[in-house]
Amino acid sequence: MASTRLSICADQVRRQDRDRYLTALFAPAERREDLFALYAFNLEVAKTAEVVSEAMVGRIRLQWWREAIAGIYEGRPRAHAVVAPLAQAVERHGLPRAPFDRLIDAREADLDGEPPADLKALETYAEGTAASLFALAFGVLGSPAERGAVAQAAQHLGIAWALAGLVRAVPFHARQKRTYLPADLMAETGLDLAELFELKTSPELARVIEAIAARAGGHVQAVRRLGNDLPKGARSLMLFAALAESHSSRLRRAGFDPFDPAVRAEQPGAVWRLAWAHWLRRY
C-alpha cells in the first residue's frame, strides 16, 4: 500500500512501528484499521518519555490520555486523529477499558529513570505495556466470547515481544542514559553502567542480555503451545512469536551484543518471510 493511501493511524504505525505494521497486513482486511488505531494509541503513549523534558510534563501527558480513554467510554471522545478511530474500534469490538488503563499506568515507569529490580519486575512492566496491548489486539481479531481463551496467549506473547524489543533498544536507551536491564543481573555480572552509557559493549553486558533473551524464549515457547487453541482470525498475532525468535537468533549470532549492527539491521524480504510463516502456520 502506498503511504499516500494510508489512514493517519496506519501511516504512523508504518513509519514508527514497522513490525506491528507488517503483521497487521495479515489480519482480516476489515479489522486492520482498528488494529492500526490501537497501535497508534500505543505509540502515542509509549513515546512519552522521549518527547518530554521533565517527568512531571510526562505525567501530564499520560493523564491527558487517561482522560481521553475515559471520554471514549463515557461517550464523549476527544477530537483527535488517534482518539476518534480508537473510539470506533472500542465500540465495534466492545473492547474493555481495563487494558488501556493498565498500559498507561505501566508507562509511568518510563518516567522514573530507575532500572527494574529484577527479571520479574521487568516482566511485570512488559505485562502492563505489551501484554495489555496484545489483549486489546486479540479483542479486535476475536469475539468477546473468545477473550478468556486468548488471555494467556496475550500475556506470554506480550512479555516475549517486550523483552525482545527492550534488548534491541539497549543502544537507544543508553544514549538517553536510561536502561531497562534488571538491577540484580547488572550487580551479579558486574556490569558497569557508566560504560554502557558510553555505548561500550562487554562480556558482562552479553551475560545480562543472554539471560533476558532466554526468558523471552521461554514465553515464546509457552505461547506456541497455546497457538492451536486461538481463534482463527487472531492467529496473525502469532507472527510476533516468529519475529521474536528471529530477533533472538540474530542476537545469539552476534554473541548477545546489542550494539552489533546486525542485531538492528533491516531484514530484506521480511514481509515475504512473514507471509510464508503465516500461510504455513509456522509461528
Which domains, and CATH codes, for the chain? 18-267 (1.10.600.10)
C-alpha cell at position 221: 515457547
**pLDDT tens digits, 149-206:** 688 889 999 999 999 999 999 999 999 999 999 999 999 999 999 999 999 999 999 9
C-alpha 245, offset from chain centre:
15
pLDDT range class, residue 280, cuts 50, 70, 90: low
pLDDT range class, residue 148, cuts 50, 70, 90: confident
Rounded CA separation 143/140 (Å): 7
C-alpha 150, offset from chain centre:
17
Q: pLDDT over 70 for what percent of the chain?
A: 95
* pLDDT at position 2: 43
* pLDDT at position 268: 65
Of 12, 9, 25, nearest to 274 by C-alpha is 25
Of 44, 24, 43, nearest to 34 by C-alpha is 24
* Residue 272 clears pLDDT 80, i.e. is over it: no
C-alpha cell at position 219: 514465553
Rounded CA separation 163/221 (Å): 14
Of 220, 215, 188, nearest to 204 by C-alpha is 188
* pLDDT at position 86: 98
**pLDDT tens digits, 7-39:** 999 999 999 999 999 999 999 999 999 999 999
Length of the chain: 283
Report the 10 Å Cβ neighbour count for 279. Answer: 9
Rounded CA separation 276/279 (Å): 5
Q: Which of 27-41, 52-66, 91-105, 226-240 shows the lowest mean pLDDT across its residues?
A: 226-240
